[in-house]
Amino acid sequence: MLPVALVLPQLLLTFFFFLWPAGQAVWASFTRQDPFGIRTQFVGFENFTDLFEDPLYVESMGRTVVFSGSVTVVAMLVALCLALFADREIRGRNIYRTLLIWPYAVAPAISAVLWILLLHPQIGAFSHVLRMLGIGWDYKINSTQAMLVVVLASAWKQVSYNFIFFLAGLQSIPRSVIEAARMDGARGWRRLRTITLPLLAPTTFFLLIVNFVYSAFDTFGTIQALTQGGPGKATETLMVKVYRDGVVNLNLGSSSAQSVVLMVAIIALTVVQSRFLNRKNAE
């Protein structure tokens, strides 16, 4: 009985706070309540068909893909560049590493505050510079600028995480491989393209998925602090929308259907990732 007692706390928490609510979400996504919340009716896939016929939802999907894609690309490219240089044997590299990893600890919502101070239309340190350059800078009313700001703030926070993983990936490449390439006369860019990047591929793939999930879900706080999804719906990602529809507007059927769509997406990503990692471990 001892082993059962040992797993029991974990199982109970999992059941009550994960499986049960997830099951409820799935069930609620197939039902609809009348406006007074008295009667609940089973409606099959109607919530889902409504959702995918709703142009606002489809737009929000597209917006989420653009937003998450941009955050992922920016955060990974900057991190890769920094990691490549931090892997070189230069003086003070441990200090550089320390100074590059601490933003891991910054909450997404707090990184929004940092960017407010840089780019807020009234108080932002850079806003004046932009205005002097003749750019009408105000992300509170300009949709494109709003998207740019949430992408920058979200990517900024994620660079350290990617940096840590890229650097670990680079350090696990055997020096002999690099040396051999050097002997063969492969230098600079060519060595990077033919040796380093292919050997980093597992790390890159892992980070792609982690970054995409981060930008789709964990940036909710960043967006709430910066734009609350606005102006209009310019920065309303799926996560912001499910919160607005469910918690603010209490539209249970639709928000449950939206939750289930997100659930399917995250299950798909997790399966792809663990398949890939299993294959890697088997090698």
Partner 1 sequence: MNGRTDWAAHIVLGLGVLLFVLPVWLVFAASTQDAGAIGRGELSLIPDLTNFSAYVTVLRDGAPGVAPVGRMLLVSAAMAIGIAFGKIIISVLSAYAVTFFRFPFRMLCFWTIFITLMLPVEVRIIPTYAVMADFGLINTYAGLTVPLIASATATLLFRQVFLAVPDELVEAARMDGAGPLRFLRDILLPVSGANIAALFVILFVYGWNQYLWPLLVATDQRLDTMVIGIVKMVGADTATQWNQVMATAVLALLPPVTIVLLMQRWFVKGLTEGDK
Tell the smallest beta-carbon distance from residue 3 to partner 1 (Å).
4
Q: Assess 129 for contact with partner 1 (CB under 8 A).
A: no
Rounded-to-10 torsion of CA 155, 158, 163, 168: -140
Question: Which of residues 76, 156, 162, 236 is near partner 1 by CB under 8 A?
Answer: 156
Token digits for 185?
């006369």
The beta-carbon contacts of 108-111 under 8 Å, at least 24 apart in sequence, are 108/154, 108/157, 108/218, 108/219, 108/220, 108/221, 108/222, 109/221, 109/222, 109/224, 109/225, 111/153, 111/154, 111/156, 111/157, 111/222
Contact 234, 150 (CB under 8 A): no
Closest separation in Å from C-beta 239 to partner 1: 6
- Residue 31 pairs in a beta bridge with 42
Contacts of residue 141, defined as CB under 8 A and 6 or more positions apart, other chains included, come to 231
Q: Which of 88, 174, 175, 198 binds partner 1 (CB under 8 A)?
A: 88
Q: Which helix (H) or strand (E) holds 58?
A: helix 55-86
**How many chain residues are in contact with partner 1, going by CB under 8 A?**
88
Q: Which of 112, 147, 195, 200 binds partner 1 (CB under 8 A)?
A: 112
Question: Across the strands, what pairs with 194?
Answer: none
Q: Is 272 in the site for partner 1 (CB under 8 A)?
A: no
Considering only CA atoms, which of 172, 20, 153 is closest in space to residue 75? 153
Ramachandran region of residue 161, left (φ > 0), alpha (ψ -120 to 50) or beta?
alpha
**Gap between the Cα atoms of 182 and 238, Å rounded:** 48
Among 71, 75, 76, 82, binds partner 1 (CB under 8 A): 82
Which of 89, 185, 248, 282 binds partner 1 (CB under 8 A)? It is 89
Interaction mask 33-52, partner 1, x per CB under 8 A:
--------------------
Judged by CB under 8 A, which stretch of 4-12, 30-38, 47-55, 193-201 contacts partner 1? 4-12
SS3 33: strand
Q: Is 255 in the site for partner 1 (CB under 8 A)?
A: yes
Q: In whole angstroms, how close is the CB of 254 to partner 1 at the nearest point? A: 11
Q: What are the distances in angstroms from CA 282 to CA 206, 274, 276?
A: 16, 12, 10
Output 48 or 220, the one with its CB closest to partner 1. 220
Nearer to partner 1, 47 or 259 (CB): 259
| Residues numbered 199-238 forming contacts with partner 1, rule: CB under 8 A | 206, 210, 217, 220-221, 224-225, 228
Interface stretch with partner 1, choices 35-43, 51-59, 110-118, 178-186 (CB under 8 A): 110-118
Please identify, among the stretches 34-42, 60-68, 176-184, 258-266, the one whose residues bind partner 1 according to the rule CB under 8 A: 258-266
Q: Which stretch binds partner 1 (CB under 8 A): 36-44, 54-62, 143-151, 252-260?
A: 252-260
